[in-house]
Amino acid sequence: MYMVDLIQKKRDGGILSDEEIHFMIDGYTNNRIPDYQMGAMLMAICFQGLNKHETVVLTSEMMHSGDVIDLSGIEGVKVDKHSTGGVGDKTSLVLGPMVAACGCKVAKMSGRGLGHTGGTLDKLESIPGLHVDVSEEDFINQVNDCHLAIIGQTKALVPADKKLYALRDVTATVSCIPLIASSIMSKKLASGSDTILLDVKYGEGAFMKTKEDAKVLAQTMIDIGKSLNKDTRALISNMNEPLGYAIGNSLEIKEVIDTLNGHGPKDLLELCLQAGSQMLMQAHITDNEISARKLLQDAIDSKKALRCLQAMVKAQGGDDSYIRHPELFEKTKEVISIRSQCSGYIKSLNALSLGIVSMKLGGGRMVKDDDIDHSVGLVLNKKIGDYVSKDEVLLKVYTNTGLSKELEDSIYDAYHICDEFVSKPVLIEEIMK
């Protein structure tokens, strides 16, 4: 079998056999197939696509290219959740403790941020002492003890995806739905959980720009999960504005704590209640959304969910006093208020632009080796549908390096204010199963 023949076959619209996909992934992972040939294949896939069976086989081969975590040592149904990423998306840090407090076993491996989307691990590491590199044995013990662990992926997990993702990034082959779906699902499946809930976002602040593309991606991932015997469901959610009010690592952790104390943003709480309801049903803790929402709300009202977060932080070496006293988080040198230049209703709010501002303040990475300033970011005061008066605060900028005219202009450009009344946007468009 020769790689050049497979490239030609896919280029001409052919369907790759199971054996050919195995040859391709195994050969590339083990350095027998060079980057230039795999790059050509990725481009051929971008143009010709993969059918459902090819996508499932590709995912399975990637999943088995390295370690597959065995979570059989954890009692009960193991649940996992994945978001396709967005600005201010701290959902896992609220949702994980909520469902864990209801009896779910949440064994989650997360990633770091790159570009305008913040990574869950980076947010967690704003808590002093907390470590995300946890051994498999300690991971299992922690989930058994406090029902919740959020850790980094091991280096041996899905090495094929690490190589392919890096190559896709430099060959303009990132935005291909079968490749996106196989990348996400190979990691989720190798992580070992019994169920997977996907939060597939669309809009300016998300990778998928339209609701239609988000639904295609979600259905592709659901099909993969079901083909490999995993209960997989998806939410389609709107990311045309940031989720919640905070953008930035420790600022988002503070908002997580506020939410678990019952004082969080309505959109973040609603997303977690709807996502959590699906997860409780997947874990067979309840069989309907009404009772699931009640259990989740009770977990917040009783502070049981907050105590789950504290227990996880402590188990991973973090200083859990920061959860009880969020005022301990490091403060920035300056907090700059950005005031509205006119009166009216917020018609649109470009989440991508605000995410990039936070990144440029030091809250994210432009390249993988960049250091992160966990204290900086933005806290919004007004969102879509809100009325704002002239000179009223739109948002506050938390910075250690001042605020350049360029970044200030970017913030103002992100807001579109009009005279007519504007309704609040729908957050969750659909739940797919």
- Does 5 participate in catalysis according to the annotation? no
Amino acid found at 422: V
User: Could you tell me if 378 and 410 are in contact, meaning their C-beta atoms sit under 8 angstroms apart?
Assistant: no
User: Could you tell me if 199 and 91 are in contact, meaning their C-beta atoms sit under 8 angstroms apart?
Assistant: yes
CA-nearest of 137, 144, 156, 231 to 193 is: 231
- From 182, 183, 186, 277, the catalytic residue: 183
| Contacts of the segment 131-139: beta carbons below 8 A, 24+ positions apart | 131/316, 131/317, 131/318, 132/316, 134/316, 136/69, 139/107
- From 187, 365, 383, 396, the catalytic residue: 187
Q: For helices 177-190 and 52-63, what crossing angle results, to 10°?
A: 40
In 3-state terms, what secondary structure has residue 414?
helix
User: Could you tell me if 98 and 296 are in contact, meaning their C-beta atoms sit under 8 angstroms apart?
Assistant: yes
Beta bridge partners of 234: 198, 432
Contacts of 181 (CB under 8 A, 6+ apart): 55, 59, 217, 220, 221, 224
Cα angle 143-147-153, degrees, rounded to a multiple of 5: 45
In this structure, how many other beta carbons lie within 10 angstroms of the beta carbon of residue 215?
A: 18
- Does 307 participate in catalysis according to the annotation? no
- From 89, 161, 194, 199, the catalytic residue: 161
Distance CA 75, CA 103 (A): 11
- From 162, 168, 382, 396, the catalytic residue: 168
Strands (E), 174-320: 195-202, 231-238, 246-247
Distance CA 271, CA 189 (A): 23
- Does 161 participate in catalysis according to the annotation? yes
- From 10, 78, 81, 82, the catalytic residue: 82
Distance CA 242, CA 262 (A): 20
Task: State which H helix or E strand residue 324 sits in.
Answer: helix 321-324
User: Could you tell me if 187 and 161 are in contact, meaning their C-beta atoms sit under 8 angstroms apart?
Assistant: yes
**Token representation of residue 140:** 């299992």
Pairing of strands 387-388, 344-349: antiparallel
Contacts of 271 (CB under 8 A, 6+ apart): 91, 95, 199, 235, 237, 243, 427, 428
Q: Which residues are catalytic?
A: 82, 161, 168, 183, 187
